[in-house]
Amino acid sequence: MNQPVFVAGTGIISAIGDNVAQNLTALQNDHAGMGEMQQLNSVHKKRLPVAEVKLSNNQLATLSGLPNLKSRTALLSLVAAKEALANAGIENLQSLRCGFLSANSVGGMDKTENFFTDFIADNNKGRLRNVVHHECGSVTELVADALGIKDYISTISTACSSSANSIFFAARLIRNNIIDVAVAGGADSLTKFTLNGFNTLMIVDEQFCQPFDENRRGLNLGEGAGYLVLVSEKVAASLKNKPNIILSGYCNANDAYHQTASSPDGTGSFLAMSGALNKSGLQPADIDYINLHGTGTQNNDIAEGTAIKRLFNGRYPKMSSTKTFTGHTLGASGGIEAVFSVMALQHGVIFPNLRLQTPMADLPFVPERQCIKNIKLNHVLSNSFGFGGNCSSLIFSKV
C-alpha cells in the first residue's frame, strides 16, 4: 500500500512546444507562448491574448494519428500521452495491467460549440458527429482506444486541479495493486465556452499575465496536455533506464469558501501543501522548488502566497509560476506542471517567473525571475487549485 510509485516517462504539448525537448528549450530561454489567437475563432481575438498550441487541428491529426474531426482536446491528449509512453520505453507493456487516467474541464466542447450554432436554430439540425464526444470521458476514451489501453480508464474534472488529481489517483491505483502502469495527466483545448466564461468573471488579462506581481491583472488562458507514465516499484526495477523520480506526496483538500474565489488566508492551499508534505514524510525545509499555481489573478496569488508564507514560515524555497509561459491550461495544468516539476528535478533547473516587475507587498518572498541552471534539487512541490475550492498538491522526489 505504501510502496513508491515511479515516474517512468513524460509527455507534453503546450504553447511553448510540441514535446518535452521543445518545452525545456523555451523554458530555459524565456520564450513565452502567448500571442494573438490564431486557432480559436472568437470575437475576443484582438483583445485577449491566449497561449495556443501553434499547430492546427490538421497538423495535430497528422502528429497524433487521430482523424482531424475529433475534439482538439483529444488530439492534444494523444500527442502528449504517446510521447510519455515512448519516453517510458516499457517493452512488455502488453503483459502489464495498464491504466489511462485523464482529466479535462469541458470534454469535446470545441466541437459542441459548432453543433450548437445549427442546433439552436433548429433542434433537428447540427451534425451529430460534432456532439457525440461532448462528454469529458468520451475524449479520454478516444485516446485510450488509440493507445490500446483498457485495464482501467477514468476521467477526473475538478476544474483547474483536475489533472493533479488524476495523477495521484493513478498512483493510488498502482499502490492498491489494481494496475501496474498508468498514463496519467490531462488535456484541454481552448474553447469559446471557457474563454467567455473566464471573461465574464473579469479575470482575463488583456496583456501578458504577471503572476505574483503587485500589479497583476489576471490570467491568460492556454491549452495543451501533459502526462506522466507512472509505474510500480516492480515495473520500475525491470526497466533498462531505471527511473529515479517518485511521486512522494499528494493531497487533495477543499477551501470550502466560495464557488470561484479562494479564501483570503488560502486555507485550501495550505491544507493541500501540508497534507502532501505529511504524506511524503518531508518537512517544509526539504522542498527545493515550488511550481506555483500562480495564475496571475488578484485572488489566487494572494491566497496561495499567504498559505506559503504560513507553511514555510521564513524558510522559503525557490518558486515560480510557469503559467507565465503556457498560460492557464485549466484541466491540463496539473499534468503540464507535473511534467515541468519532473523536468526541473531531471535537469537541475528552476524555470523563471517571467514579467515579474513589482513583487507583492504583502509577501515576504519573491519568485525567481531568472532561470537557474545546475542546481541540485531533491524535492519539488507542484500546486493546482481550482473552482469549487478544489486544491491539490503533488510532491516529486529524487531517489
Partner 1 sequence: MYIRATGNISPQKTFGHGPMDDSPVVYNGNRLTAIEPEYKDFIDPKLIRRMSRIIRMGVAAAMECLHEAAIKTPDAIVTGTAYGCLDDTHSFLSKMVQFNEELLTPTAFIQSTHNTIGAQIGLMLQCNNYNNAFVHRGFSFESALLDAMMLIKENDASNVLVGAIDEIINASHTILNRLGLYKQGNICNLDIYQSTSKGTIAGEGATFFLLAKEASNTDYAKLDGLHTFYKPANAAEVEQQVNNFLQKHHVNISEINLIITGKNGDVAGDKIYDTLSTSVLAGKQTINYKHLCGEYPTAATFAVWLAAHILKFKKLPAIISHQPSSQKNIKKVLVYNHYMGIHHSLYLLSAC
Q: How many CB atoms lie within 10 A of CB 172?
A: 15
Catalytic hit among 98, 160, 209, 251 = 160
Q: Which is nearer to partner 1, 161 or 397 (CB)?
A: 161
Q: Which is nearer to partner 1, 242 or 258 (CB)?
A: 258
* In contact, 245 and 325? CB cutoff 8 Å: no
What is the 3 state secondary structure string of the chain? CCCCCEEEEEEEEECCECCHHHHHHHHHCCCCCCECCCCCCCCCCCCCCEECCCCCHHHHHHHHCCCCCCCHHHHHHHHHHHHHHHHHCCCCHHHCCEEEEEECCCCCHHHHHHHHHHHHHCCCCCCHHHCCCCCHHHHHHHHHHHHCCCCEEEEECCHHHHHHHHHHHHHHHHHCCCCCEEEEEEEECCCHHHHHHHHHCCCECCCCCCCCECCCCCECEECEEEEEEEECHHHHHHCCCCCCEEEEEEEEEECCCCCCCCCCCCHHHHHHHHHHHHHHCCCHHHCCEEECCCCCCHHHHHHHHHHHHHHHCCCCCEEECCHHHHCECHHHHHHHHHHHHHHHHHHCCECCCCCCCCECCCCCCCCCCCCECCCCCCEEEEEEECHHHEEEEEEEEEC
The least CB distance from residue 332 to partner 1, in Å, is 15
* In contact, 348 and 376? CB cutoff 8 Å: yes
The least CB distance from residue 320 to partner 1, in Å, is 27
The least CB distance from residue 69 to partner 1, in Å, is 16
The least CB distance from residue 113 to partner 1, in Å, is 7
The least CB distance from residue 116 to partner 1, in Å, is 5
Q: Name the residues that contact partner 1, by CB under 8 A.
A: 1, 42-44, 105, 107, 112-113, 116-117, 119-120, 123-124, 128, 131-132, 135-138, 140-141, 144, 150-159, 165, 169, 172-173, 175-176, 178, 192-193, 196-197, 199-201, 252-260, 267-268, 271, 386-390
The amino acid at 7 = V
Catalytic hit among 209, 328, 379, 391 = 328
Answer yes or no: 31 catalytic. Answer: no
The least CB distance from residue 191 to partner 1, in Å, is 10
The least CB distance from residue 131 to partner 1, in Å, is 6
Q: Which is nearer to partner 1, 3 or 62 (CB)?
A: 3
Answer yes or no: 328 catalytic. Answer: yes
Q: How far apart are CA 250 and CA 232, in angstroms?
A: 16
Active site residues: 160, 293, 328
